[in-house]
Chain A
């Protein structure tokens, strides 16, 4: 494939300051707010990345308390996702489910978060018990909420309890006020709500960037796939934009607690609010990275031009782009939604970082979209992205290749508060069920869910937002749809299970894993469910053939999930790690790990916290939290080998068409991998051989990975592993494990 060259003259001429405004009702909405509880507190800035306290809010009882951050919390859990899991563990019982009042939503930015000198340093980590999986879910999200929360004085926010009316939690980190307000007439959908609230709580125009809002939308309320929008004020566009904590239904938990929004008003951001131990190292490391971005991005990933959508055509070229519910890996119409299109359609004259200092700036925006359907029909909006996952999930995986419809789907997912990845995969499943007669017009209540029917797709989404019709069933997610369709007797249960792309209750994200055994493990052998943020090994495994043996794959599935977990402990974004690399990276040992960037991370952590670590210690920090999370899953009734099973569609060809579309490849594998002769065999016979071979090797992979991770063959961390990690200091953790040894 040739490198795409950016041509500024082709960028569409769209005024990025124009959009529909929603501020008319602001005063009335504000007047309807009623203070239910208000306390004052002393704001403080972090010291070496930590404020050393967390905030607990019970939205049911209105209890608001501060808790100290202990040395043990820092040593074992670091922050971010680690703090989230720690608080959640203490809040729930093994019988707790997502909609019990004791379930929590924890938001924690991590010690490094809020740094402004390096790219990708503003992330919040959100943890809760998921309505889709019944185990902890964690989500790594941009936007300003986490850093502003920390600069207001808190390393984490715990939300527990259930309110009986819609409320807003407002934290004023300048004046030292925390308030629970009843919000009876606030708008529901994020793009309206966050705009109104940003203007309501900002003291003046200059204050707008100091406000961040966490919200969701109408569909989060009527589905299990709700997500949270974390806002940031875009100074150039003069509008509120979002990053999404997408996976696992945290938005649904949020609405179940009747939280309408969280609003923080932080102090004006400056470069030293984290009070790091060694600002000079941070400055030098940051500048080095920014230069690398300037010099290399244009000939590497073009993240500044395309965002993550740059890989659409790469995935297509390698037969890895999910098409029609992961049946196929490429499609002739992909050029309509690939990055050469998006770099013309997205606004390019602006700054698109989701936190200050992100020179990777992937948070692109497509401005000037006039909506064709739904409650905001006719409005002109700015759409975030589309990111790769959305182009693939809402686009190719559902056969939608019309970019305007793709943007509209993306927009409504965002404002309705549902996860685009989940929605894409579940819609692809619905469409394949429709193709195969498992669903029909009668069963969908009139929706013609044929491939590429974007209007029906949008209508299903609007139904989800209204809590009506088939949209409500779809909003349960793939796992519950499968159970429902099988119970209704609507199709062959094996076929339904084979093509329903979920594991542990969570939908797959948008990569084809059939030809990469390591990626099959990268999806299924995860803590939270099949999301590529634990391990993305397709290229190393399938294209570059760097992982030939089971041991190599197991090593990668040991190292990368731990390495990537570490981003979430600290509030880092993963993308600047390897979406640009130093010019000499390929000549370095272990180039796939991007050693210079790993060293940057080691330095940034040490320079922030004053705790000197090296790259081995970095992995050890993650291993503690990762294994703790595994034990947490076991405590909640999952987390064993049985729960790591993968749907067959992720391992190999389920249907005859799938096999025959890539017959040459599959026949060849019968010869080279199985040592058999495909000649004279029917497609069905050959498919059976593949199924046997593919499920066997997946099972062998599980053995190797579990062994490498220090787990039993049932997937349980051994006592020796817990001791090695110091997790034996937690008797409850040891107790859970003992029951399974």
Chain B
């Protein structure tokens, strides 16, 4: 399956860039001019380190979704069907990586589609899309 990964050797948590990845994701993928709505979030820590909130397509949210709005596509990427979503936010609450996002203006939540758009704009080349095997379905 396609998975977005980050290399923290290269990414310095936004100290020497303008969070291009977040901005590009928000605008191109979710059509909003607000990096807070991006499907990835890069946070800087005071000690110089950082943290990225990324979806690794683990599929936990698929297991808990009551309306079968979440399914893997052919590339193994977990996609949301907005027509089926009932806005329960269990996917958000049960994502251990806090990677299922919610825009207060929308009733349907959103997530990373492993599209790779953010990868292209990172000035440090820290992001990439890799192909890894799908993890086994967990009982959650």
A282-300 Cβ-contact flags toward B at 8 Å (1 or 0): 0100111111011000000
Say whether B104 contacts A116, CB under 8 Å. no
Q: Which chain B residues border A289 with CB–CB below 8 Å?
A: 93
Q: Which chain B residues border A236 with CB–CB below 8 Å?
A: 68
A116 to B139, CA, bound (A): 22
Closest A residue to B100 using CB positions: A287
Say whether B137 contacts A356, CB under 8 Å. no
Q: A8 with B92: in contact, given A117-B87, A270-B87, A283-B104 (CB under 8 Å)? A: no
Say whether A290 contacts B90, CB under 8 Å. yes
The total of interchain contacts (Cβ-Cβ below 8 angstroms) comes to 80
Segment 635-658 of A: residues with Cβ below 8 Å from B: none
Q: Which chain A residues border B102 with CB–CB below 8 Å?
A: 283, 287
Say whether B66 contacts A351, CB under 8 Å. yes
Give A11 Cβ to nearest chain B Cβ, in Å.
Answer: 7
Q: Which chain A residues border B90 with CB–CB below 8 Å?
A: 290, 357, 359
A358 to B92, CA, bound (A): 13
Give A9 Cβ to nearest chain B Cβ, in Å.
Answer: 10
Give A306 Cβ to nearest chain B Cβ, in Å.
Answer: 13
Q: Which chain A residues border B87 with CB–CB below 8 Å?
A: 116-117, 270-272
Segment 61-91 of B: residues with Cβ below 8 Å from A: 63-68, 83, 85-90
Say whether B86 contacts A357, CB under 8 Å. yes
Task: Indicate if A377 sits at the interface (CB-CB under 8 A).
Answer: no
Say whether B104 contacts A359, CB under 8 Å. no
A308 to B97, CA, bound (A): 29
Contact of A270 among B63, B68, B96, B107 (CB under 8 A): B107
Q: Which chain B residues border A280 with CB–CB below 8 Å?
A: 104
Closest B residue to A286 using CB positions: B89
Contact of A291 among B66, B67, B93, B104 (CB under 8 A): B93
Contact of B86 among A8, A269, A287, A291 (CB under 8 A): A269
Say whether A351 contacts B104, CB under 8 Å. no
Say whether A356 contacts B63, CB under 8 Å. no
Contact of A359 among B83, B93, B108, B137 (CB under 8 A): B93
Task: Indicate if B94 sits at the interface (CB-CB under 8 A).
Answer: yes
Say whether A357 contacts B139, CB under 8 Å. no
Say whether B104 contacts A235, CB under 8 Å. no
Contact of A294 among B93, B107, B108, B139 (CB under 8 A): B93
Task: Indicate if A353 sits at the interface (CB-CB under 8 A).
Answer: yes
Q: Which chain B residues border A357 with CB–CB below 8 Å?
A: 66, 86, 88-90
Q: Which chain A residues border B104 with CB–CB below 8 Å?
A: 280, 283
A356 to B140, CA, bound (A): 17
Contact of A271 among B64, B88, B93, B94 (CB under 8 A): B88
Closest B residue to A121 using CB positions: B88
A355-389 Cβ-contact flags toward B at 8 Å (1 or 0): 01111000000000000000000000000000000
Closest A residue to B104 using CB positions: A280
Q: A349 with B93: in contact, given A235-B68, A271-B85 (CB under 8 Å)? A: no
Residue from B68, B94, B104, B140 having most chain A Cβ neighbours under 10 A: B140
Q: A356 with B93: in contact, given A271-B87, A294-B140, A349-B139 (CB under 8 Å)? A: no
Give A530 Cβ to nearest chain B Cβ, in Å.
Answer: 34
Q: Which chain B residues border A8 with CB–CB below 8 Å?
A: 139
Closest B residue to A6 using CB positions: B139
Q: Which chain B residues border A358 with CB–CB below 8 Å?
A: 66
Closest A residue to B68 using CB positions: A235
B20-53 Cβ-contact flags toward A at 8 Å (1 or 0): 0000000000000000000000000000000000
Give B88 Cβ to nearest chain A Cβ, in Å.
Answer: 4
Q: A290 with B67: in contact, given A270-B86, A280-B104 (CB under 8 Å)? A: no
Task: Indicate if A348 sits at the interface (CB-CB under 8 A).
Answer: yes
Q: A356 with B66: in contact, given A270-B87, A280-B104 (CB under 8 Å)? A: yes
Closest A residue to B65 using CB positions: A351
A294 to B138, CA, bound (A): 13
Say whether A117 contacts B89, CB under 8 Å. yes
Q: A271 with B139: in contact, given A236-B68, A351-B64 (CB under 8 Å)? A: no
Q: Which chain A residues border B86 with CB–CB below 8 Å?
A: 116, 269-271, 356-357
A271 to B83, CA, bound (A): 11
Say whether B93 contacts A293, CB under 8 Å. yes
Give A343 Cβ to nearest chain B Cβ, in Å.
Answer: 10
Give B136 Cβ to nearest chain A Cβ, in Å.
Answer: 10
Q: A11 with B108: in contact, given A287-B93, A290-B89, A353-B66 (CB under 8 Å)? A: no
Say whether A287 contacts B64, CB under 8 Å. no
Q: Which chain A residues border B63 with CB–CB below 8 Å?
A: 349, 351
Q: Which chain B residues border A6 with CB–CB below 8 Å?
A: 139
Closest B residue to A271 using CB positions: B87
Give A238 Cβ to nearest chain B Cβ, in Å.
Answer: 11
Give B65 Cβ to nearest chain A Cβ, in Å.
Answer: 7
30 pairs, A vs B, C-beta closer than 8 Å:
A8-B139, A117-B88, A117-B89, A209-B67, A236-B68, A270-B86, A270-B87, A270-B107, A271-B86, A271-B87, A271-B107, A272-B107, A283-B89, A286-B88, A287-B92, A288-B93, A289-B93, A290-B89, A290-B93, A290-B94, A291-B93, A293-B93, A294-B93, A294-B96, A349-B137, A356-B88, A357-B86, A357-B89, A359-B64, A359-B94
Shortest beta-carbon contacts, A-B, top 6: A271-B87, A290-B93, A357-B88, A271-B107, A116-B88, A356-B86
Other A-B pairs, 5, CB within 8 Å; known A6-B139, A268-B83, A271-B86: A8-B139, A235-B67, A236-B68, A270-B85, A271-B87
A interface with B by C-beta (< 8 Å)? 6, 8, 11, 116-117, 209, 235-236, 268-272, 279-280, 283, 286-291, 293-294, 304, 348-349, 351, 353, 356-359
